[in-house]
Structure 1
Amino acid sequence: MVFGSLSEAGGPLTAYAILDELRDDGFRAPLQVYRALDKLVEYGMVHRLESLNAFVACSHKGCSGHGTAAFAICDKCGDVREFMPDEVVQSLKAWTESNGFALSRTTIELRGICKNCRKVA
């Protein structure tokens, strides 16, 4: 149900927004939503956007294998685009390996103004 809400939203949702959507389905406490979100993040089906304190459904099939997600977030309209920067992923992998750092996951958030909003301005 939580994943369905995020998939249908077409953009990021906070845990409380998800809870509001799912109250009629028996969800009563934020902890229920957070537990589901934790599992979905663990499985790579959902990403947490730290700067928005929100969650978004993964737009890549089989995302759970790559461990790196990058997002361009428009500060004007709120549009969020997920992308996979292969060069950055390789650079981060090389750095972590050469420094003995055990990386669990990486989330990159780019903040700015999207192409559509720049056209309007």
Structure 2
Amino acid sequence: MSAHAHPELTKNQSLVFGSLSEAGGPLTAYAILDLLREDGFRAPLQVYRALDKLVEYGMVHRLESLNAFVACAHTGCSAHGAAAFAICEQCGDVIEFTPDEALKVLGEWTKAQQFSLSRMTIELRGTCSTCALKAI
């Protein structure tokens, strides 16, 4: 069983996760639907139901600013309830990372404010090093 496998995955959840894993980048729910039409997917609701569970399991993340989803790049996301992404506005590349120091500061703030945090997604938008080099 892989690091991302979850024993309760349905057929639809497995297909959606597989399509995101193979994509190598973020996909919208409608792009996933198009990829899975041959597998019997007919309605966006089928994709959204699967995505909701995969997000809950920590296997998939929703990129709010892109209204898209991406397969988790590392294990343990569901354990710390946070994910961070650097999104290149030029090429669309998405890099997932864990900003430990930022998570610590934000965690301390939530405790001080008595704010009950359910999840956290940090999105950095800018230009990746590859695109920056191309601009020179």
Q: 1:44 aligns with which of 55, 58, 69?
A: 58
5 Å-filtered alignment, 1:29-108, equals 29-108=43-122
Question: What is the aligned partner in structure 2 of residue 12 from structure 1?
Answer: 26
> CA–CA distance in 2 between the matches of 1:16 and 1:39?
17
> CA–CA distance in 1 between the matches of 2:76 and 2:18?
17
**Could you tell me which amino acid in structure 2 is paired with residue 18 of structure 1?**
I
Question: What is the aligned partner in structure 1 of residue 36 from structure 2?
Answer: 22
> CA–CA distance in 1 between the matches of 2:77 and 2:114?
24
Q: Give aligned pairs, total.
A: 121
Q: Scaled by the length of structure 1, what TM-score is found? A: 0.98
Q: Deviations over 1:47-71 (max 9, x none)?
A: 0001100000000113211111110
Q: Deviations over 1:14-47 (max 9, x none)?
A: 0000000000000000000000000000111000
Moved over 2 A (4+): none
> CA–CA distance in 2 between the matches of 1:98 and 1:92?
10
Unaligned runs of 5+ in 1: none
* Alpha-carbon offset, residue 89 of structure 1: 0.6
Q: Scaled by the length of structure 2, what TM-score is found? A: 0.88
SS of 2:87 mapped into structure 1: strand
- RMSD between aligned residues: 0.5
Unaligned runs of 5+ in 2: 1-14
> CA–CA distance in 1 between the matches of 2:76 and 2:99?
16
Of all paired residues, the percent bearing the same amino acid is 76
